[in-house]
Amino acid sequence: MKVVVIGGGFAGLNLSKKLAGNIQIEVTLVDKNNYHFFPPLLYQVATAFIEPSNISYPFRRMFQHRHNLRYYMGSLVKINMETNTIATDSGTLDYDYLVLAMGAESNYFGMENVKNNALPMKTIDDAINLRNHILLNLEKLVKSNDPLEREIRRNIVIAGGGPTGVEVSGMIAEMGKYILEKDYPELKGRRDTIFLVDAGHALLGPMSGKSQQEALKVLTRLGVQVKLGTAVKDFTNDKVLLSTGETINSNTLIWASGVIAREAPGLPPESIAQRGRRIIVDEYNKVAGTSNIFAIGDQCVQTTDKNYPNGHPQLAQVAIQQGKLVAENLTRLSKGEVMRPFSYYNKGTMAIISKFKAVVDLPKGFFKGFIAWLVWLFIHIIPIAGFRNKAKLAFNWFWSFITNDPTLRLIIRPRKGKNR
């Protein structure tokens, strides 16, 4: 049986790994990048705290000695349901079963200027781009005598008060506190001004009230200006326009607000939900209106789980659990057995706010502070692919936390041009 999986994130990779060694099933994992990466730590790459290679790992290395797993580099162009094939930008593949696991991308809610000028944080490329932007801004700032330019380069606006927005705000504020004056003596006494803007009425929207209050308290203490009930409306000519009518002079708008599922051209229109463009699936993650196509993770919406009638949150654990169950169901199908429906087991949610401070919501409880921070570190090191990566990450963390001065603030810009 030929299974093609498009997307090697949490969902697609866990599905593929679960099928490793099952010689009845030949798996081809298609991904536009030749590596798997760990999005929850992207903000630490973006703030030069850890290296990109600490949180990414090549598929081909993972698939060594797993004889029924193949990696194929390519980006989906179209699904041809009549011929059971997919067209990618680098060739065509045929399948008996297709699994869509391409995740989600930033949603700019139709604001073209924001889309063109803001800095998203969804991929490794985005994180490196943001790191370069922040560091280049500082280099230009130290040379400028123009008050307006200085203001534009010192103000940083972060849109979205979910875990990513909170984590990146805390990290940039700490960079300002521990690193700025040491690396840039020219800026002595002047800190970046960080604005965290969210349209809702609390930070960490999906988390408990206690976590929300703790995040607000810690960030405010770090000097972050939190603006709740406020949305970004436009971003052009180094001005961020807010829904309150206020304008912030800044050339840095970090976009951590809202996602939309990646497009999968070729699926029947009735299988795409209006909200968030997510692919509608049944209790087995089978795509509505198809017989041999599944969708898992952030890209799909499943309303059959009784505890989640509006669909699951777009979280790593949902993607991992769906990937594993669909792998088991494909094995069942290959043996002519019936499939098992999906139900999500919530292990809890957490967010880091700053050094030594995190919040953890468990199904039956809440805790915060240093212990929560340690739990966060521990939980985030386990799923990092590869033993060497875990060891390198642990060392980098240890070094950076002890010294308050990681040495990764390098501006490395890839040369533009086409590789053949």
H/E stretch holding 62: helix 59-62
Taking residue 351's Cβ as centre, other Cβ atoms within 10 Å add up to 25
How does DSSP assign 108-128, residue by residue? -TT-HHHHHHSEE-SSHHHHH
Q: How far apart are CA 102 and CA 137, in angstroms?
A: 33
Give the Cα separation of 15 and 136 in Å (integer). 40
Q: Looking at beta carbons only, is 216 or 352 nearer to ligand FAD?
A: 352
CB of 308 to ligand FAD, least distance (A): 14
Which positions touch ligand FAD (CB under 6 A)?
A: 6-12, 30-33, 39-40, 42, 75-76, 101-103, 121-122, 163-164, 262, 297-299, 314-317, 319
Nearest residue relative to ligand FAD (C-beta):
9
Least distance between ligand FAD and beta carbon 296 (Å): 7
Measured distance CA(319)–CA(165) in Å, rounded? 21
Minimum distance, C-beta of residue 11 to ligand FAD, in the bound complex (Å): 3
| Closest CB to ligand FAD among residues 184, 366 | 366
Residue placing its CB nearer to ligand FAD in the complex, 216 or 295: 295
Least Å distance, CB 198 to ligand FAD, is: 16
Cα pseudo-dihedral 388, 323, 94, 336, rounded to 10: 130
H or E stretch at 365: strand 365-368
Minimum CB separation of residue 119 from ligand FAD in Å reads: 12
Choice between 122 and 140, CB closer to ligand FAD: 122
What are the tokens at 14? Answer: 């866990």
| Cβ proximity to ligand FAD, 212 vs 314, nearer residue | 314
Residue ranges with strand state E in 199-320:
225-228, 232-236, 239-242, 247-249, 253-255, 259-261, 279-281, 293-295, 300-302
Minimum Å distance from CB 40 to ligand FAD? 4
Under 8 Å between Cβ of 224 and 196: yes
Amino acid at 399: W
Shortest distance, position 128 Cβ to ligand FAD, whole Å: 13
Using CA atoms, how far apart are residues 193 and 53, in angstroms rounded to an integer? 30
CB nearer ligand FAD, residue 48 or residue 152: 48
Least distance to ligand FAD, CB of residue 14, Å: 8
Q: Between 184 and 356, whose beta carbon lies closer to ligand FAD? A: 356
Q: Identify any residues that bridge with 362 across adjacent strands, giving them in sequence order.
A: 365
Q: Measured from the CB atom, is 222 or 264 closer to ligand FAD?
A: 264
